[in-house]
Amino acid sequence: MTQGQSRQAEILVVGGGIIGCATALALARRGHTVRILERAEPGGLATHAAAGILGPMNETDRPGPFLDLMRQSLALYPDFVSGLIEETGLSPDLALDGILAVAPRASDRALLERRLAWQRPIDPSVTLLSAPEARALEPSLTGDFDSALWYPKEGHVFAPRLIKALLGALSRRSVPLEQGVTVSRIERNPSGTLSVTDQAGNVREAQAVVLAAGAALSAIDIPGPPVRIHPVNGQILAVRSPGSFYRRVVFYPPHGYFVPKKDGTVVIGATEERIGARTRVTPAGLLEFLAPLAPIAPEILGHPLHHTWSGLRPCSEDALPVLGPLAACPGLFVAGGHYRNGILLAPVTGEILADMVTGLATPMARAFSPERFGRPSPEQFF
Ligand SMILES: Cc1cc2nc3c(=O)[nH]c(=O)nc-3n(C[C@H](O)[C@H](O)[C@H](O)COP(=O)(O)OP(=O)(O)OC[C@H]3O[C@@H](n4cnc5c(N)ncnc54)[C@H](O)[C@@H]3O)c2cc1C
């Protein structure tokens, strides 16, 4: 496209990560004409780095709209994945075979008991297990620990395969994904359409735009107050494991986890570093989550290192997702700030954004409006 050239109005999704792709697919399935603009590799900032854990209960310390959103998305996962397999033949290895959250010492058990007290009424399947009971579910927990919470309905997915399947489904529906397009500015035209300008000066006209640019979203110039999303670097690694010694996702304090994948690797993570828009992997970073694992599952540290990497989680001002229309620019929607849970939240985000763009009511998304930062009202928070 040449400078100043304009194209027939359609819905443009800025960013081809898990959130942009899930949103584009939900829109395409409803018959909309949609196009994704992606500056580099789809999902290259965060999606490819993710451990793929689908674990709502470990991600918040209270009931409320955020937990409801995550649980709703988890409930959508089986159909979301079977739809992708049907359309593409590609499986993202969904495994909903349970998550354990370990208390290493007796003094840590009080925290698990507090969680059990508010979580059990929401999901009666959550159980507090003794160490031998937890070891029966996860034999790799050969070290010393006190107890564990058991979430039998949660699990994980292979994030790089998930986005591959999404891209396959989009391609089968002939949804164009333009790579090498860095969107720099969005404006509203007097006619009511939106103009999307890229760094090369090309202008695309759109009927609606969904901003799904992950940790780089704030760099795009938009009308009205900016949407503040900052990057949080996560260092993470994988080891090669023998046989099926590792079976379930395990969380351990202060913020470590391991995730056994079907390809024979075990993913272990992760750091949380606010160091700007750059990634890094350091021995000190890896030690942060490997050292507390040694007493709980010592064998894991003896396996061959397969790969280390890092990615940038997109975090909003209150660390909650930002979903919805921008009052200062009708037709412009935000799908961002998914922080630690973008893989989990992709199915529900796609459906919510497709509802919003279509003009349908989305009561579930009220607490996540981008307007909460400009004009906070108490009932929008919990
Ligand atoms: C180490 C680590 C572990 C994680 N583990 C989990 C987990 O276990 N479970 C979970 O649910 N989540 C996890 N996450 C979080 C999850 O990866 C993110 O929340 C999610 O990937 C965000 O998706 P996104 O599409 O918003 O962003 P991204 O995947 O970053 O995609 C944004 C896309 O927008 C493109 N883009 C940016 N700017 C522009 C522009 N100006 N123009 C055009 N394109 C642009 C980028 O190139 C990128 O492809 C983890 C993240 C990290 C880093």
Predicted confidence (pLDDT) per residue in 131-173, tens digit: 999 999 999 999 999 999 999 999 999 999 999 999 999 999 9
Pocket probe mutation, ligand 1, options 39, 70, 178, max atoms within 8 Å of Cβ: 39
16 Cβ inside 6 Å of ligand 1: yes
- Give yes or no for residue 195 CB within 6 A of ligand 1: no
- Does residue 232 line the site of ligand 1, with CB under 6 A? no
How far is ligand 1, taken at its centre, from the CA of residue 213, in Å?
8
Please indicate, yes or no, whether the overall pTM of this predicted structure exceeds 0.85.
yes
At 242, the pLDDT band (50, 70, 90 cuts) reads confident
pLDDT at position 276 is 94
pLDDT at 6 over 50: no
* Integer Cα distance of 112 and 222 in angstroms: 44
Task: Return the pLDDT at 244.
Answer: 79
What does the pLDDT read at residue 363?
Answer: 93
The residue contributing the CA closest to ligand 1 atom 52 is: 50
Measured between alpha carbons, how far is 86 from 63 in angstroms, rounded to an integer? 35
User: Is pLDDT of 356 > 80?
Assistant: yes
Q: Who has greater pLDDT, 212 or 1?
A: 212
How many residues in total does the chain contain? Answer: 382
Of 12, 13, 18, 185, the residue with max ligand 1 atoms within 8 A of its CB, to mutate for a pocket test, comes to: 18
Amino acid at 6: S
pLDDT of residue 3: 44
Residue 382 predicted with pLDDT over 50: no
- Predicted confidence at residue 343, as pLDDT, reads 98
Residue 374: predicted pLDDT: 75
For atom 22 of ligand 1, the residue with the nearest CA is 342
Q: Which position has the higher pLDDT, 376 or 170?
A: 170
Torsion sign (Cα): 314, 317, 323, 326? negative
pLDDT digits (tens, 9 = 90+) for 32-83: 999 999 999 999 899 999 999 999 999 999 999 999 999 999 999 999 999 9
The domains spanning 11-48+161-228+318-380 and 99-152+230-316 adopt the same CATH topology: no
The predicted model gives 105-114 an average pLDDT of: 95
Ligand 1 site, residue 313, Cβ cutoff 6 A: yes
Two tokens, residue 56: 């709502």
Q: Please state, for a pLDDT cut of 90, what percent of the chain lies above it.
A: 94
User: Is residue 252's pLDDT more than 60?
Assistant: yes
Coil/strand/helix, residue 70: helix
**Cα 133 to middle of ligand 1, angstroms:** 36
Ligand 1 neighbourhood includes 269 CB (under 6 angstroms): yes
Q: What is the CA radius of gyration of the chain?
A: 21
Alpha carbon distances (Å) from 237 to 108, 282, 338: 26, 11, 21
376 has a pLDDT exceeding 90: no
Q: What is the overall mean pLDDT for the chain? A: 94
Q: Is the CB of 198 under 6 A from ligand 1?
A: no
Lowest mean pLDDT segment, chosen from 112-116, 152-156, 240-244, 376-380: 376-380
CA distance 308 to 17: 20
CATH fold group of domain 99-152+230-316: D-Amino Acid Oxidase; Chain A, domain 2 (3.30.9)
- The pLDDT of 254-274, averaged and rounded, is 96
Q: pLDDT-derived band of residue 9, with 50, 70 and 90 as boundaries?
A: low
User: Best mutation site among 41, 45, 235 for ligand 1, i.e. most ligand atoms within 8 A of its Cβ?
Assistant: 45
Cβ–ligand 1 contact at 42 (below 6 Å): yes
Instruction: Say which CATH topology domain 11-48+161-228+318-380 has.
Output: FAD/NAD(P)-binding domain (3.50.50)
Going from the Cα of 153 to the center of ligand 1, the distance in angstroms, rounded, reads 25
> How is the chain split into domains, by residue range?
11-48+161-228+318-380, 99-152+230-316
